[in-house]
Structure 1
Amino acid sequence: MKAVGFMLAVSVFLAACGGGSDSSSEKPASEEVNLSDSTSELVPLRTYSAPQDTFGSVSMTMPMDGNITFIGAGVDVYIYDSGLNFVERNSTPFSRFQADLTAGEYLIEFSFWSSNARHVTAYSPQLMPFNELLPLENKVYSSDVNKAEYYRFTPTTDTTLNHSGSGVNIAIYDSNMTLIEPLLNQKASPYGINAGNYVVELNYFSSNTKAISISSPAI
């Protein structure tokens, strides 16, 4: 285990949240962020990526008890409390990692180890409320880079969700981020779903084409 103090600049790609003409849904540009800066805070829906065999860390404040979900590949995630006591880490191999945390201050360390894809995105309803997620739309979602995106889906009646594409895994959670369906894209389309509040996760995992068409009569 490497020490958590270091100087490392990594490439950070902001997650593209598609849909509508609102400027918040436009694909943001990449930016350089120095993760050794003690003021760096974990940003929900931001996708972090870095060169192989490098480390980075961000601080995180959980305002109340809750969970956080990390999705990605080629990255190990370590969680420490404010006293740098080890709390939890992902299992190996890593695709989805969920941790239940009490309110408080944390340090999140990323170890970018893979020679292939190296990316991780985090979401917690305690850090970004469900109603602040962009709504799921009837459209084709695609990406040129490996990352994950999260959308809210709120059907008021029982409905179906249609999907067709490749290079993208779809997961469905309830609004508290309890996992309901880990690989919707491997289920037959259309997929029946009850009325309720859901978070839809799109994980653009492939090294090739990453595009999926999603539609529902409830959208």
Structure 2
Amino acid sequence: MIIRNIGFFLFCFLFPLCSSRYYLTIVSPGVTSDYRLKSIGGIRMLEASYYGTWHYTQTAFYLEPENLDALLFDPNNHILNYKELFDSVSKDKSSVWILFEYCYDQTKPIQIDEDKEQYQFEWNGNEPKSKISYLYPYSYYKKGNRIRQKLPFYQSERYPKNEWKQTTGYDQYFCVRNLLEFDGSLQKKGTNELKVVTPREQILYYEYQFDHKFIFYAEEEIN
């Protein structure tokens, strides 16, 4: 137990990932699991069948405005997308920013570029002011037949140089990210809700609590 704890703290020292009260906080630059929205309902079986039963996940995150630059300048963004896509983002600090992500089996014959553009979003009944959709690669590991995402394909190393290095292997697990911008004046005190309509007209709901700031959920509430 002592050795395992020492190993964990060394990992946190070398990799600036452990900023939360939970061990698995890192998702990618600018995004941590603390800001995961609560999913109302479980996995939709039609979506899982379409994207790959062992690969499919869907998650939404609230983004603090000060973390937007870290997300936009993540080098993983440019592996499968044009840089100009991210240059077009407004970076308006008064907006509410939400990241919706779903993952799929890239070996399936899915027209993913067409598919990702057909998603529809509403936040508190309002459509986004802007939206960009892009592919994002993770490394992964297998747990039985199920694929589990691990870390962004490129991750930051503090030692010996503060550089981005490919440290997570060559097998990529592909996800689609939707960066959504909403009018910040419409954010409510109390419950705020994100509605997602998939191209197959399946409806996903997420919610979070806000009272002058994002209210963190207990770990058991979001899992």
TM class, shorter-length: under 0.3
TM-score w.r.t. the length of structure 1 is 0.25
Structure with the largest fraction of strand: 1
Q: Report which of the two has the higher share of helix.
A: 2
